[in-house]
C-alpha cells in the first residue's frame, strides 16, 4: 500500500439533506457491471481488451446528446469489420440486440441501447483523399471537421455540414442523413455518397462500389435480393405512392427509411446503398464511405439583416436564395434577445422588440469576380427590403471580414447555448427540428411560438430558412411526472400541427430516433409505414439491430427512458451532454471524456447513500476521471455552454489532498528557489548516469532510472511521483545569459521548465534563453532577464494539481515580481513557454489579492511567439531556411489565440510548414505525462502517426514539456522552440 493515499470519500458528491435517490438510477443488480455469461462469451469471442464491463463504463456510455438514457449490458470496442460481424453473429444466436455508437451527438437516442453497445468511433477514423480531392474514402469514426480539414488542401469539402461538425462523425452523419446549414436536399449524404461498405445483420459484407457486388450479394443473400426487387416493383406500380414519396423528399426529410431508394436504384445493391443512408443503425453497420466532394468556395460575404417582423423576414428568404446565397439562417426576436448571455453577442440586443427577426445570409464564391457580382446583386436586393436598425450594433451590411463573420455565426449558434446554459437546474434539454414548405415559413414560426407558449415552454425558434427547416428547444424535468405529461401533450399537438396543417417533415435533419418513432405513421400514412416495417424485416429478420430507434408501434415509446438531470457541482451543472467537448479531450481514447466525467457525477448523485453502484463508481472515478484529466481546459473552448471540466477535476484533486499534502505543496512554493536548484541537480545527476551507462545492454541507465522512479511511485503514490522518460533532456545551463536592463525594451522571463531542462541530446543550436536574447538583440529589440527569476513560477505546477495554498502563494509572488521587473508595467513581460504565458496572463488572476489584481491589470504579458511575430520578424533578415518543418500547437496556444503566430514564425524559417491534421493537446500537462505516461501515449497517438509517416527537417513547438512529450511519442524527433529555429535562420552568414 502506498505511503500516501487520497483522502477517503473526497470525491463523493455533496448532496443536501432533502436529497432522495432518482427513480431512473442504475439498480443495485447492475453494480458489478456486465453479467455472466455475456461478459465471458464476448471476452472469449473478441478478447478481453475489446470488452468494457465495469459499471462505470456502462454508465458513461448510457448518455448521449438526446434526452434519453439507456444502460447497456456491455460495451464492445470493435476494431474491424470482423469484430462487428462476430458480434452480430453472437447476437443472432443468443437472441440479443445491438446498437452502434460513434460520437454520441445524435439528438434522439440513436446511439443508445439496453443490451450490446458497439463503439465504432475509437478504432474507425481515417480519410483517404482520392482523385485530387474530387472524392474521399472515409471511415465512420472520422469527424466531419477532420474530413474537411483533409479536403481543404484540395479546395474541396463534404456536402453535409451539421452544426456539430467538430464532434459528430461521418458514420453518424450518413446513418442519420444529417445535413446542416447549406446541404438542403441536394448536398446531403443521400445525394453525395457515391458508394459505401456495410455489414448486414446476417454478417454479409457489401461494398456497393464493387463491380461484382450484385452478383456476390445474390449468391450470399438470394432472398434479400429478391425481396428488394419485389418491393421496388410494388412501389413503382402504385402511382399515388410514388408521387407521395417524391413529394415528401422535396422537403428536407429524415423521418423513416428512404423509400425513394427503390425509385432511384435499379439493382439490389443500388437500392441497398440508398436505404442504408438515413437508416439510423437499424439495417446494418456502415463501415466505410466514398463521398463525391464539392468545391470549397473560400470567397465569403456575409450579412446579418434585421427585419421588423417574422413575415417580412420570411418573405425575403426566397429572394436571397435567388441571389445565390449559400445559407439563409433565421433567428426570431426571442432568440436574439436571449443570445446576449453568450460572450461576444452585443448586449443591446436585449432591448430588441419581440417582433424583430434576423436573417444571417452568407454568399460563398469561387473567385473575386463572382463574389463581386453576388455582392452587387445582394446590395440591389437589400435596397428594396424593409430593414430596421433598432439598436446601435445593427449594421445591415455585407462584410468580408473573417472576425465579423465568425461573430455572426456565434450569434446564430447561441440559440442552443443561450437556452441550454440558462435552463433551470435539473431540466432535460430537447432539440427538435422539422421542415415546412419555405413559402409557409413565417406561418409555421408563429404557430410554433404560440404552441410553445401555450404549453409553458420558453418560446424561441431559429433555423435554416432557405430550406424551410426550423429548430426549437424544450427544457423540462424528466423526474417530474407532471412535467413529462406537459412535454407529451406538446409533442402530440406539435406533430399533429406539423403534419396536418403544413404537411411538413417531422424530422428535417435529425432523423427519426426514439422521439418521433411513434409518430412515423402520422406523417407517412399506413401504407408507406408498413413498407418500412417490411424493409426492416427483410434486412433484419431477427430484429437484432437498434429496436425502437426508428420503428416503434408503442404510441408512448418516446416517453420511456427520459433522463433525469440531478444537480451536480456548479461548474458542471449546465452540461447538456452534447459531446462537443469530446474530440479535443486528451483522455478520450484512454479513460473518460469531459461529458462522461459529468455523466458519472450525475449517476453518483442519483444513487442513495452507501449504494454499491455509487461506491463502485467512486472507486473508478479517481483514476478514470480525475487522475487522467490533462487539465488543459480545451473542453471549455468547444463546449456550447462554456463548461471547464478541467477546472472541476482540479477542484476534485484539491478535495483529495490531505492537510499534510497541502502544507508540503505550500512549503515547496515558499522555498521554490531551493526546489528549482535541486530539480536541476537531479536532472544533471540522472543525465550523468545515463551517459555513463549508455550503450551497455540497451541503455541500462534509462532502465535503472525507470526502475528507481517506479519503486518510488509504488511506495508513495503514482499521482505524486514522476516516472523517468528516456527523452528527458540534459539539464539547463547553470547560469542564464547576461543581459542589461538599461537598453531593454522588454523583460524576458525564462520559465522554470527552461531553467531546469535543456535541449534534446542531438540539438546543436543555442539554448532557448540564449536564442531569445540573441535574436531579440539582432532585431534591435533587446530584452533583460532579471537576476532574481530563480524561485519564481507561473504557479501552474500547483494550479494543475489543485494545491490551492501553494498556488495562491506563488501566483501573488509572481505578479509582485513581474510588477517590479517591468517598472510598474512600463515594459512588457515576454514568457518563453506558452503554458506559463497562459498561467501568468490568466490563470493566476482568481488567486490574487485585491491589491495584486490591480497590479496584474497593469501588466502586459506576451507569449514569446507573439513577441517574435510582432517585434522581431519585421526587423530580421532570414539568411537560411530549412526545407520543411512540422509544428505542434499546444493547448495553451489555443487558449491564448496565438497559433497563427507559431505558423508565421515557422514560415520564416522553413519553405514548407505542416501542422498535423490530428494535432491536439499532448496531455503532458507540465508533469502529468511523467505521472501517467499512458495518457500522453493515447493523446498523441494519431498526431505521432501522422508526423512519423514522413520526415521533416525540423520539429517545432514553444513549450518544453510538450516538446518532451512529442519526442517520446515520435521516437525522439528533437522537438525544440520555434524561437531557437528563428535565431538559426537569421544568424548572419
Nearest to residue 750, comparing CAs of 840, 631, 855, 870? 840
Query: What length does the chain have?
Result: 989
- Give the per-residue SS3 of 97-157: CEEEECCCCCCCCCCCCCCEEEECCCCCCCEEEEHHHCEEEECCCCEHHHHHHHHHCCCEE
Q: Do 235 and 108 belong together in one domain?
A: yes
The grid cell for 55 is 459499471
Q: Do 498 and 532 belong together in one domain?
A: no
Per the domain annotation, does 2 fall within a domain?
A: no
Task: Report the SS3 class of residue 797.
Answer: helix
Per the domain annotation, does 848 fall within a domain?
A: no
Q: Do 428 and 470 belong together in one domain?
A: yes
Per the domain annotation, does 543 fall within a domain?
A: yes
Full domain range(s) for residue 469: 299-506
Look up the CATH number of the domain holding residue 416. Answer: 3.40.462.40
* Beta-sheet pairing, 357-365 with 299-307: antiparallel
**702: which residues sit within 8 A by CB, 6+ positions away?**
690, 724, 726
The pLDDT of residue 925 = 86
Residue at which a domain ends, from 563, 595, 630: 563
Q: Name residue 294's beta-bridge partners.
A: 157
User: What count of other Cβ atoms lies within 10 Å of the Cβ of residue 547?
Assistant: 18
Per the domain annotation, does 733 fall within a domain?
A: no
Q: Do 499 and 479 belong together in one domain?
A: yes
- Give the per-residue SS3 of 751-779: CHHHHHECCCCCCCCCCHHHHHHHHHHHC
Residue at which a domain ends, from 506, 525, 551: 506
Nearest to residue 457, comparing CAs of 496, 430, 492? 430
Q: Look-up: residue for cell 443488480?
A: 29
Alpha-carbon gap, residue 944 to 916, rounded angstroms? 9
* Beta-sheet pairing, 127-130 with 135-138: antiparallel
Domain count, the chain: 4
The pLDDT of residue 9 = 79
Look up the CATH number of the domain holding residue 170. Answer: 3.30.465.10
Per the domain annotation, does 798 fall within a domain?
A: no
Nearest to residue 345, comparing CAs of 337, 353, 333? 337
Q: Do 174 and 279 belong together in one domain?
A: yes
* Beta-sheet pairing, 193-199 with 285-292: antiparallel
The pLDDT of residue 272 = 98
* Beta-sheet pairing, 205-207 with 327-331: unpaired
Q: Look-up: residue for cell 456536402?
A: 159
In contact, 593 and 439? CB cutoff 8 Å: no
The pLDDT of residue 8 = 67
Q: How far is CA 711 from the centre of its chain?
A: 37
- Give residue-wise pLDDT tens across range 196-220: 999 999 999 999 999 999 999 999 9
Query: In this structure, is the dihedral angle defined by the CA atoms of residues 32, 34, 38 and 40, taken in order, positive or negative?
Result: negative
Alpha-carbon gap, residue 780 to 782, rounded angstroms? 6
In contact, 101 and 64? CB cutoff 8 Å: yes
Q: Do 326 and 208 belong together in one domain?
A: no
Q: Do 123 and 152 belong together in one domain?
A: yes
Q: Do 270 and 305 belong together in one domain?
A: no
Q: Look-up: residue for cell 517545432?
A: 956
Per the domain annotation, does 467 fall within a domain?
A: yes
Nearest to residue 291, comparing CAs of 200, 159, 153, 183? 159
Alpha-carbon gap, residue 363 to 716, rounded angstroms? 61
Q: Look-up: residue for cell 425558434?
A: 461
The pLDDT of residue 764 = 87
Alpha-carbon gap, residue 510 to 108, rounded angstroms? 8
End-to-end, the C-alpha distance of the chain in Å comes to 61
Instruction: Order the strands of the 882-887 sheet from edge to edge.
Output: 910-914, 882-887, 954-957, 976-977
Task: State the alpha helices, DSSP H only, in 858-925.
Answer: 864-867, 891-896, 899-909
Q: Do 110 and 235 belong together in one domain?
A: yes
DSSP letters, 54-65, are: SHHHHHHTSB-S
- Which ranges of the chain have pLDDT less than 70? 1-5, 8, 17, 694-698, 700-702, 705-706, 708-710, 712-713, 715-716
Residue at which a domain ends, from 678, 706, 724: 724
The pLDDT of residue 930 = 85
Q: Do 446 and 541 belong together in one domain?
A: no
For residue 37, is the peptide bond before it cis, meaning its omega torsion is within 30 degrees of 0? yes
Per the domain annotation, does 120 fall within a domain?
A: yes
In contact, 143 and 165? CB cutoff 8 Å: yes
Q: Do 290 and 329 belong together in one domain?
A: no
Q: Do 371 and 475 belong together in one domain?
A: yes
Per the domain annotation, does 370 fall within a domain?
A: yes
The pLDDT of residue 1 = 47
Q: How far is CA 229 from CA 104, 543, 737, in A?
A: 34, 21, 80
Look up the CATH number of the domain holding residue 940. Answer: 3.40.50
Amino acid at each position: 500500500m502506498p505511503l500516501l493515499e487520497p483522502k477517503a470519500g473526497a470525491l463523493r458528491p455533496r448532496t443536501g439533506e432533502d436529497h432522495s435517490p432518482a427513480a431512473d438510477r442504475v439498480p443495485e443488480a447492475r453494480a458489478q457491471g456486465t453479467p455472466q455469461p455475456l461478459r465471458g462469451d464476448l471476452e472469449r469471442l473478441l478478447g478481453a481488451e475489446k470488452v468494457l464491463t465495469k459499471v462505470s463504463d456502462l454508465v458513461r456510455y448510457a448518455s448521449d446528446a438526446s434526452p434519453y438514457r439507456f444502460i447497456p449490458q456491455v460495451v464492445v470496442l470493435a476494431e474491424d469489420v470482423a469484430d462487428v460481424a462476430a458480434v452480430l453473429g453472437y447476437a443472432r444466436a443468443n437472441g440479443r440486440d445491438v446498437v452502434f455508437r460513434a460520437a454520441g451527438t445524435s439528438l434522439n437516442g440513436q446511439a443508445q441501447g439496453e443490451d450490446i453497445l458497439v463503439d465504432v468511433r475509437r478504432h474507425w477514423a481515417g480519410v483517404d483523399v482520392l482523385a485530387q480531392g474530387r472524392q474521399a474514402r472515409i471511415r465512420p469514426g472520422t469527424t466531419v471537421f477532420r474530413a474537411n480539414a483533409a479536403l481543404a488542401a484540395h479546395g474541396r469539402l463534404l456536402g453535409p455540414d451539421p452544426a456539430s461538425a467538430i464532434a459528430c462523425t461521418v458514420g453518424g452523419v450518413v446513418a442519420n442523413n444529417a445535413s446542416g446549414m447549406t446541404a438542403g436536399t441536394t448536398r446531403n449524404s443521400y445525394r453525395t455518397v457515391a458508394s459505401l461498405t456495410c455489414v448486414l445483420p446476417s454478417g454479409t459484407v457489401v461494398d456497393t462500389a464493387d463491380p461484382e457486388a450484385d452478383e456476390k450479394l445474390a449468391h450470399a443473400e438470394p432472398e434479400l435480393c429478391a425481396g428488394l426487387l419485389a418491393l421496388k416493383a410494388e412501389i413503382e406500380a402504385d402511382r399515388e405512392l410514388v408521387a407521395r414519396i417524391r413529394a415528401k423528399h422535396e422537403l428536407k426529410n429524415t423521418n423513416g427509411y428512404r423509400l425513394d431508394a427503390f425509385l432511384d436504384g435499379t439493382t439490389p445493391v443500388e437500392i441497398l446503398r440508398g436505404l442504408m443512408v438515413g437508416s439510423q443503425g437499424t439495417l446494418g453497420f456502415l463501415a466505410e464511405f466514398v463521398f463525391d466532394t464539392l468545391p470549397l468556395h473560400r470567397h465569403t460575404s456575409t450579412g446579418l439583416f434585421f427585419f421588423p417582423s417574422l413575415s417580412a423576414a420570411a418573405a425575403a428568404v426566397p429572394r436571397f436564395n435567388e441571389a445565390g446565397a449559400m445559407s439563409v439562417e433565421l433567428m426570431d426576436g426571442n432568440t436574439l434577445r436571449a443570445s446576449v448571455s453568450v460572450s461576444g453577442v452585443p448586449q443591446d440586443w436585449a432591448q430588441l422588440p419581440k417582433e424583430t427577426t434576423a436573417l444571417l445570409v452568407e454568399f460563398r464564391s469561387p473567385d473575386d469576380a463572382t463574389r463581386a457580382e453576388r455582392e452587387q446583386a445582394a446590395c440591389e436586393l437589400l435596397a428594396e427590403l424593409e430593414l430596421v436598425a433598432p439598436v446601435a450594433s445593427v449594421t445591415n451590411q455585407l462584410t468580408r471580414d473573417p472576425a465579423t463573420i465568425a461573430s455572426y455565426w456565434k450569434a446564430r449558434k447561441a440559440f442552443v447555448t443561450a437556452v441550454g446554459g440558462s435552463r433551470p437546474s435539473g431540466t432535460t434539454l430537447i432539440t427538435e427540428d422539422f421542415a415546412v414548405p419555405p413559402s409557409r415559413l413565417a406561418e409555421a414560426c408563429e404557430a410554433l411560438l404560440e404552441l410553445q407558449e401555450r404549453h409553458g415552454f420558453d418560446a424561441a425558434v431559429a433555423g435554416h430558412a432557405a430550406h424551410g427547416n426550423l429548430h426549437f428547444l424544450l427544457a423540462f424535468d424528466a423526474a417530474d411526472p407532471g412535467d413529462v405529461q406537459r412535454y407529451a401533450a406538446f409533442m402530440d399537438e406539435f406533430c399533429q400541427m406539423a403534419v396536418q396543417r403544413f404537411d411538413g417533415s417531422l424530422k428535417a435533419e435529425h432523423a427519426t430516433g426514439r422521439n418521433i418513432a411513434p409518430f412515423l405513421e402520422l406523417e407517412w400514412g399506413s401504407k408507406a409505414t408498413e413498407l418500412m416495417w417490411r424493409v426492416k424485416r427483410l434486412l433484419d429478420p431477427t430484429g437484432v439491430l437498434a429496436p425502437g430507434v426508428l420503428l416503434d408501434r408503442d404510441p408512448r415509446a418516446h416517453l420511456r427512458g427520459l433522463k433525469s438531470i440531478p444537480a451536480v457541482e456548479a461548474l458542471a451543472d449546465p452540461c447538456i451532454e452534447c459531446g462537443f467537448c469530446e474530440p479535443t479531450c486528451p483522455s478520450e481514447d484512454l479513460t473518460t471524456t469531459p461529458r462522461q466525467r459529468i455523466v458519472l457525477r450525475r449517476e453518483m448523485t442519483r444513487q442513495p447513500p452507501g449504494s454499491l453502484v455509487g461506491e463502485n463508481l467512486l472507486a473508478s472515478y479517481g483514476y478514470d476521471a480525475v487522475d487522467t484529466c490533462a487539465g488543459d481546459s480545451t473542453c471549455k473552448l468547444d463546449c456550447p455552454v462554456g463548461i471547464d471540466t478541467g477546472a472541476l477535476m482540479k477542484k476534485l484533486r484539491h478535495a483529495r489532498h490531505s492537510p499534510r499534502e497541502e502544507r508540503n505543496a505550500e512549503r515547496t512554493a515558499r522555498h521554490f528557489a531551493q526546489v528549482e536548484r535541486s530539480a536541476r541537480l537531479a536532472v544533471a545527476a540522472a543525465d550523468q548516469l545515463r551517459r555513463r551507462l549508455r550503450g551497455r545492454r540497451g541503455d541500462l541507465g534509462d532502465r535503472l532510472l525507470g526502475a528507481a522512479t517506479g519503486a518510488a511511485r509504488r511506495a508513495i503514490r503514482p499521482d505524486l511521483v514522476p516516472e523517468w522518460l528516456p527523452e528527458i533532456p540534459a539539464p539547463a545551463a547553470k547560469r542564464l545569459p547576461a543581459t542589461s536592463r538599461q537598453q531593454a525594451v522588454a523583460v524576458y522571463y525564462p520559465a522554470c521548465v527552461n531553467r531546469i531542462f535543456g535541449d534534446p541530446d542531438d540539438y546543436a543550436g543555442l539554448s532557448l534563453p540564449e536564442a531569445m536574447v540573441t535574436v531579440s538583440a539582432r532585431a534591435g529589440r533587446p530584452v533583460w532577464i532579471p537576476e532574481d527569476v530563480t524561485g519564481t513560477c507561473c504557479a501552474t505546477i500547483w494550479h494543475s494539481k489543485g494545491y490551492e495554498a501553494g498556488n495562491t502563494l506563488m501566483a501573488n509572488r509572481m505578479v509582485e515580481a513581474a510588477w517590479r521587473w517591468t517598472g510598474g508595467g512600463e515594459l512588457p513581460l515576454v514568457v518563453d513557454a506558452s503554458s506559463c504565458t497562459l498561467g501568468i496572463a490568466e490563470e493566476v488572476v482568481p488567486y490574487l489579492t485585491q491589491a495584486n489584481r490591480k497590479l496584474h491589470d497593469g501588466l502586459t504579458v506576451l507569449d514569446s511567439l507573439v513577441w517574435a511575430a510582432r517585434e522581431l520578424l519585421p526587423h530580421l533578415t532570414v539568411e537560411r531556411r530549412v526545407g520543411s518543418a512540422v509544428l505542434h500547437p499546444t493547448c495553451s496556444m489555443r487558449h491564448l489565440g496565438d497559433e497563427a503566430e507559431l505558423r508565421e514564425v515557422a514560415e520564416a524559417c522553413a519553405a514548407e510548414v505542416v501542422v498535423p491534421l490530428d494535432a491536439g493537446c499532448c496531455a503532458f500537462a507540465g508533469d502529468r505525462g511523467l505521472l501517467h505516461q499512458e495518457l500522453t501515449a493515447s493523446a498523441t497517438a494519431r498526431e505521432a502517426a501522422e508526423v512519423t509517416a514522413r520526415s521533416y527537417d525540423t520539429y517545432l513547438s514553444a513549450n518544453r514539456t510538450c516538446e518532451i512529450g512529442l519526442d517520446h511519442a515520435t521516437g525522439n524527433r528533437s522537438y525544440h522552440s520555434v524561437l531557437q529555429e528563428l535565431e538559426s535562420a537569421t544568424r548572419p552568414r
